[in-house]
Amino acid sequence: MGRAGLTPERLTLAGAELADEAGFEQVTLSALARRFDVKVASLYSHLKNSQELKTRIALFALEELADRVADAVAGRAGKDALTAFANAYRDYARAHPGRYDAARFRLDPQTAAASAGVRHAQMTRAILRGYDLAEPDQTHAVRMLGSVFHGYVSLETAGGFSHTNVASQESWAWTLDALDAALRTRATP
Amino acid sequence: MGRAGLTPERLTLAGAELADEAGFEQVTLSALARRFDVKVASLYSHLKNSQELKTRIALFALEELADRVADAVAGRAGKDALTAFANAYRDYARAHPGRYDAARFRLDPQTAAASAGVRHAQMTRAILRGYDLAEPDQTHAVRMLGSVFHGYVSLETAGGFSHTNVASQESWAWTLDALDAALRTRATP
DNA sequence: GCGATTTGCCTATATGGTTTAGGTGAACGC
DNA sequence: GCGTTCACCTAAACCATATAGGCAAATCGC
């Protein structure tokens, strides 16, 4: 009887793929075991429980998303950086809806603190350097940007924008314009 | 053996309460049956399956939220209406996190079309009457506002804003200011 | 009132996901 | 070769979902 070559990393990646194909809520140890043609109990040698699998997928997605965003904003500033950040974020959610969902998975505080979520906040602050915002305005702006990006892609992927014939892409561009303008007028002299 | 007096309505309300107490994902027929001290199978006389229970809770929450928002914006206009809308929305999510989650439950298109979701869109458009936006700007603005409100309360209830000592309430007010300003500068002459 | 029917909840059972305990065989260290 | 470790196994308990079928209380026709 050959070995399937299970490792936490391979299980995490397969779980991420499964999430994109069938939705994050369909990520179960049973489904994962089927995918590797192995019995469910075998997975417990590599994962503490199903919670750990989901947490690992979440952390993996956060890293991957942070990498893409970092790549997109490198060498850009101002509205250019804002747009690159926002598009990288939205593109990731559209290309990997299951992983994006996973990135929203509730992590316990210490896991969250050690996650790439911190990089996300840092990159958002980096974007805002082009807008000359002093504290606490900068924190307010970080929260507003995070809210718009997350809210938009959540509603979009949930199909919320498909009932009118105005293209979502245009609303996205319009929203980024409005955000850029709002941030510029709030620059502290 | 006395009767428990089960009806779809009472089960839906109890499910909503359960969602607020333990989280929407903890809403199961088993938990509901325990709450009424009946056997799980008995619930199937009143509900087709667990999917229907969740759908009913979602529709209930959408109605309730729409009622609160309608009440809040009545007789207001401009920034006053925007603030009232936004606060009613956020207050509901904070007071009833499980129901708010339920309102985000994926409905099939025809159920969604018959739901209070339609009222939400109408009310958002009503808010924008004070800002003189022509189409397609109005649709863009509806989407942006929906994204900010949903995104903000999602991140806030997920604990995303609890790691800095800047009060979330201040960021919320700042964000509403910024949105109001952005909408005013986009008014079509 | 009394029989027939409907209603409300029941038991029993099947399916499938999670988790733990304990076992086996193949590979590897020496 | 011998023992240990590792990767995967069987078995079994627990819980949620769902269906089938039964019984008794409530309700309706007369």
Tens-place pLDDT, residues A119-168: 999 999 999 999 999 999 999 999 999 999 999 999 999 888 877 878 99
Provide the angle, in degrees to the nearest 10, between the axes of the packed helices A78-95 and A168-185. Answer: 140
Q: Please tell me the distance in Å from B105's CA to the nearest CA on chain A.
A: 9
Inside any domain, residue B1? no
Q: DSSP alpha helices (H): ranges in B97-167?
A: 97-103, 109-113, 117-128, 137-157
Mean pLDDT over B4-18 rounds to 92
The Cα angle at residue B68 between residues B65 and B71, in degrees rounded to 5: 145
- Whether A2 maps to a domain, the answer reads no
Domain that includes residue B168, residue range: 8-185
- Domain presence at residue A3: no
- pLDDT of B188: 77
Q: Is residue B2 part of a domain?
A: no
Q: What pLDDT does A2 receive?
A: 58
CATH label of the domain that carries residue B180: 1.10.357.10
pLDDT in tens, B104-163: 998 988 899 999 999 999 999 999 999 999 999 999 999 999 999 999 999 999 888 877
Residue from the list B159, B171, B183 with its beta carbon closest to the beta carbon of A140: B171
Q: Is residue B40 part of a domain?
A: yes
Region B66-80 average pLDDT: 96
pLDDT of residue B39: 93
Is residue A107 within 8 A of residue A115, CB to CB? The reply is: yes
Instruction: Report yes or no on B3 lying in a domain.
Output: no
Place of tokens 């009833």: B96
The answer to whether A48 touches A95, Cβ cutoff 8 Å, is no
Between CA B52 and CA B57, with CA B23 as vertex, the angle to 5 degrees is 25
Reduced DSSP (H G I as helix, E B as strand, rest coil) percent helix, strand, coil of chain A, to 5: 75, 0, 25
Output A159 or A38, whichever has higher pLDDT. A38
Mean pLDDT of the B76-83 span: 97
Token pair 């969602």: residue: B19
Residue B143, pLDDT score: 96
pLDDT-derived band of residue A115, with 50, 70 and 90 as boundaries?
very high
With a cut of 80, say whether residue A188 has pLDDT above it. Answer: no
A35 vs B: CB within 8 A:
no
Q: Is the pLDDT of residue B1 over 60?
A: no
Residue A1 has pLDDT above 60, yes or no: no
Whether A161 sits inside 8 A of B150 (CB atoms) is: no
Mutate to test the interface with A, among B144, B164, B176, B180 (most CBs of A within 10 A): B144
Count how many domains chain B has. Answer: 1
DSSP-derived letter for residue A130 is G
**What pLDDT is recorded for position B189?**
72
Q: pLDDT band for A3, please (50, 70, 90 cuts).
A: low
Residue B177 lies in a domain: yes
